[in-house]
A and B are shown apart, each in its own frame.
Chain A
Amino acid sequence: MFMQRLLKVALLGASGLVLSGAMGVAQSAEWQPTKPVEVIVPAGAGGASDQMARLITSIVQKHQLMKQPMIIQIKGGASGAEGAMDVQESKGNAHKLFVAFSLIYTLPIATGLPLNWRTLNPVAMIALDEFLLWVNSETPYKNARSFLDAVKAAPPETFKMGGTGSKREDQLISFALGKAYGAKFTYIPYKSGGEAATQLVGKHIDSNVNNPSENIAQWRAGELRALCVFSAQRMAYKNKITKDQSWADIPTCKESGVDVEYQMLRAFFLPPGTTKEQSAFYVDVLKKVVATPEWKDYVERNALKETFSSGPDFVKFLEKDDANHRTLMKEAGFAK
């Protein structure tokens, strides 16, 4: 507490300096935060959402994109439900920015919690996270087809697929593989993608569908092999990451004859009851963030798909994405 207060004082001091420095610039009449903005991260410390939030706050600070500081609040309890419900219940508070991913669709279906993204105020989607099919590099499978054929040939549920949490994106992909290709896995839920990565290196599971950022270290060390990416096009990054492969060298699953696609939004929302003007302010800040070299660097390092959408386009995307998730969740029997 003491340190927190100390930090707050320091931050206020710093923002004071920024404020006095910016005084010369013409004041716009639009809405602006009047106190520090809490960035609610509905995931564990150190995870992908946390890293992205920390990077964005440091970009905002470095380029002085906002006069008020951003403070990150980790609320990862109950697979992020803690943070999501906190935002859902903070009606009218425009000083709370929610770092969202596909939990906004899956969480209410799996748990019956009264979370509804339609009541939140959508700000913008800033990236799409890719999912890949990974196996241990000591196994003989060189492509998605040979691996999934082996899964199909074995008695059902012999092969173990590890992933983050239960009844969420990883398990949905695992289910979709069974649906589209007849490859049935035993799904083993872990606390985080990092855990699923090391468990695959240790051969305690046979495959995982981690994001690039979750497996990159093990991939580079030659311990894991990427079989295919669950998206319509190959990833754009052509720099060699391992000795002989770049992200762009990994085929899409469709190319390998496995018709499963999945990408996950990385987006921001404001709590219910906030205004268009307020979300417009954050859209503007985020637009500036994604134009910085630091962001480009981050996107490439984590092999995220660059995309930016706000306003009606964003809502249209959300509706479609929501419908996809709903169907999959129902078919998988995850709906409560």
Chain B
Amino acid sequence: MEDLSSLFHGFAVALTWYNVGMMAIGVVLGVVIGVLPGLGGPNGVAILLPLTFTMEPTSAIIMLSCIYWGTLFAGAITSILFNIPGESHSVATTFDGYPLAQQGRAGEALTSAFTGSFFGAFFAVLLITFLAPLVAKFALRFGPPEFFAVYLLTFCSFIGTGDRPFKTVISMMLGFGLAAIGMDTVSGELRMTFGWSELLRGVDFLVVVIGLFGVGEILITMEEGLAFKGKSAEINAKVVWQTWKKLPKYWLTLIRSSVVGCWMGITPGGATAASFMGYGIAKRFSPEAHKFGTGQLEGVIAPETAAHAAGTSALLPMLALGIPGSATAAVLLGGLMVWGLQPGPLLFVEQKDFVWGLIASMYLSNIAGLIIVLTTVPLFAAILRIPFSIIAPIIIALCAVGAYTVHNATLDIWFMVLFGALGYVLKKLEYPLAPLVLALVLGDRAENAFRQTMLASKGQLGIFWSNPLVGTITTLALLMLIWPLIALIWRKLRPASVRGSVIAAGQPRP
């Protein structure tokens, strides 16, 4: 097979000492960047991009993509240990990861998060290797209606699987509102900026996330008695081995999340949507769904696997089509052009060394990444043993630094404080925060896709069923939305008569 020989040639390119060194440096830098809240993949890679201009493109992309893998791995560390997602795609990891840390099972949570990440990445790299030409074609079938259907599916699966659908909807609406601030792409006009130029850039989800989760959590912890709940976070060969022994049990979750992740990375829904969807689906199908949110390993594995699979597969449309599947991929795309490479279908033909060197390095660097994070986590976990009164101000300071760094704007620090207070209040009132973040991240894109669709169809909603692809996704989304209703009717009618329940479930009320 031609692909295989190209791949082996790629290994020869990636396995020079220089490139292996770049891999190690990249992963370590990535972990550091990923752990610091606010300094994430996109801005981390952007800041380091100029340093690589003098390097040979293949080495440069290997190092930069390794930074990206590092951030993908590391996002889980702060999510699990501090309930602060270092990256938007690790928000979903906090739901079960932090409770696990509170129960003193941080080591297990981290090990399964990393292993899940590794599995997802490996799945995605395999996919890239073998499906590159095919998948590139498939992505082209995505127009505005298809994009909107995917976003709709994400939103609906969230509402349908939440414990409190109405609170979920309210939280989501808040997110949509925030997402609308700034420029409206479709009309080209400003919305909700109130003549204030600081609001032109909108509200960045990172600032909101740092406020809601970082500051909000500190406030709650203070109220509950100034102590960190995570008792010990030892991670040693024994913990790793025991966790690994448990993992095969979750094989279905691993595969499901990998598939969802690859799908979202290629389409390109992005790692964040993928992680939420992975979590939602795992919860939907788990026999222990009611325990989700209280510290389930499955709840850590699912989002991490999906996020890493999405992050990795996002490089495929970037290389093959020039469509970045994620923010970091977008920055890498800019780098590619600066190095004089033109992403697109011809890249695979004209720059074989580059493309296959990169793909081969993905195999190697994910192995290297797994080893590096597993061995350095005790360092990060040690932070948990520091008294809360010392660590809290440090975290707040880190949060403020992170919020400021996003746009170098002082106003963002105030936003962070505001959202910290909001996060505290919402948490006290038992509103779920994740839908807000989800809507803030995807709301803008979903709105654009919807309005582009309406422009094209002249306002006809039928376009969402105009071809099998979009029709299937839209129908699936609506099914997800009314899933609780179906389940309810099913359960109510089942004892009475099996036949009746089939009819009722077949005709759910909208």
Contacts and interface: CB of A to CB of B under 8 A. Distances in A.
Q: Do A and B bind each other?
A: yes
Contact of A191 (B185, B331, B343, B346): B185
Interface residues of B, number: 63
B453 to A, nearest CB: 9
A160 B456 CA distance: 7
Interface string B441-474: 0000000100010011010000000000000000
Contact of A85 (B46, B139, B197): B197
Interface string B176-193: 000000111111111001
A55 B338 contact: yes
A1 B402 CA distance: 7
Contacts of A199: 143
Contacts of B143: 199, 202, 204
B109 to A, nearest CB: 26
Contact of A54 (B50, B321, B345, B448): B50
B343 A78 contact: no
B140 interface: yes
A113 interface: yes
A37 interface: no
A328 B359 CA distance: 48
Given A1-B401, A3-B47, A45 B322 contact: no
B346 A221 contact: yes
A167 interface: yes
Contact of B338 (A4, A58, A75): A58
A269 B452 CA distance: 34
A34 B491 CA distance: 74
Contacts of B346: 217, 220-221
A333 to B, nearest CB: 12
B372 interface: no
Interface stretch (A94-102, A182-190, A246-254, A308-316): A182-190
Nearest to B330: A46
A168 B189 CA distance: 11
A17 B422 CA distance: 49
B164 interface: no
A85 B200 contact: yes
B333 A1 contact: no
Interface in B302-340: 321-324, 330-331, 333-334, 337-338, 340
Interface of B: 29, 32-33, 36, 38-39, 42, 44, 46-51, 53, 139-144, 182-190, 193, 197, 200-202, 321-324, 330-331, 333-334, 337-338, 340, 342-347, 401-402, 404-405, 407-408, 448, 452, 455-456, 458
20 contacts: A3-B32, A3-B47, A7-B47, A45-B334, A51-B337, A54-B49, A58-B338, A74-B46, A77-B407, A78-B182, A81-B183, A89-B197, A111-B188, A186-B456, A198-B323, A205-B456, A217-B343, A217-B345, A217-B346, A217-B347
Interface of A: 1-4, 7, 44-47, 50-51, 54-55, 57-58, 73-75, 77-79, 81-82, 85-86, 89, 110-111, 113, 157, 160, 165-168, 171, 186-191, 194-195, 197-199, 201-202, 204-205, 216-218, 220-221, 223, 301, 334, 336
